[in-house]
Amino acid sequence: MSHRDKIQKIISESIHSQNEWKKEFQLFGKMFYVETPFIGPINVDNIINRVENSIPAIVFNEIDMIMVGEFDFLQERELEAMYKDGAIYISNSLFTDEDLIENLIHEAAHSMESAFGYYIYADQRIASEFIGKRETLKRILISHNYDVSKVEHLFSDTEYDQEFDDFLHKDIGYTKLNNLTLGLVSNPYALTSLREYWASGFEKYFLGEQEVIKRLSPQLFNKIEGVLTNDD
């Protein structure tokens, strides 16, 4: 077989594979639709089996549908997934089963805010815990000679702010932040906003880090457990 024929065979097999991928699944009875196949070798049936056997169905109560594809609103914000209007949208750029599981849990945590937002946030307990983490982060950064002056006023803000996110992501970088925040949070992205503090902690809780969350963020841990048991 010539080199050209080999290339043509690879292309043909790829097209055939793309045309045969399974599009429709069910997760806790909710439609899981793969509009565009993942670029990585992700086994959706395996993911669904793992999730349904390790996570309570209540976590997905507020979700109507899960969509996988190439979405402009994800690409524009360089996001892998987003929860909005009752659906989880996931980029097909994910490469591993673990990537998909992490994103599913994280966005499911955001969906729970619509049903349990008052319970999660009204008493300000995790907000106070979050602000305390932010203030500790500021002291750590200053001690490592980072200039925090341009975002100093944002450390006490619980809402998402693009300027603060850019400061963490671009000026410092999450690889360095991961080292700087050991013993402070389980994931430095949790410091982006109060809502991400909740969702990141919830994600780690279901990835087997319950004891870590309990030790580092006891108020957050209590809220997660309360939501799961409907103990309000």
Query: Over its length of 232 residues, how does the chain's per-residue pLDDT go in tens digits?
Result: 555 555 555 444 544 454 456 899 999 999 999 999 999 899 999 999 999 999 999 999 999 999 999 999 999 988 999 999 999 999 999 999 999 999 999 999 999 999 999 999 999 999 999 999 999 999 999 999 999 999 999 999 999 999 999 999 899 998 899 999 999 999 999 999 999 999 999 999 999 999 999 999 999 999 999 999 875 4
Measure the CA–CA gap between 119 and 54, rounded to whole angstroms.
24
Q: Phi-psi category of 63—alpha, beta or left, where left has phi over 0 and alpha has psi -120 to 50?
A: beta
Measure the CA–CA gap between 47 and 96, rounded to whole angstroms.
10
DSSP one-letter string for 115-178: HHHHHHHTT-HHHHHHHHHHHHHHHHHHHTT---GGGGGGTT--S--HHHHHIIIIII-HHHHH
Residues 6 or more apart in contact with residue 73 via CB below 8 angstroms: 82, 89
How buried is residue 38: exposed, middle or buried, by Cβ count under 10 Å (0-12/13-18/19+)?
buried
Query: Could you give the count of Cα atoms lying within 13 Å of 137 in the half-sphere of its Cβ?
Result: 29
Residues 6 or more apart in contact with residue 5 via CB below 8 angstroms: none
Predicted model pTM = 0.87
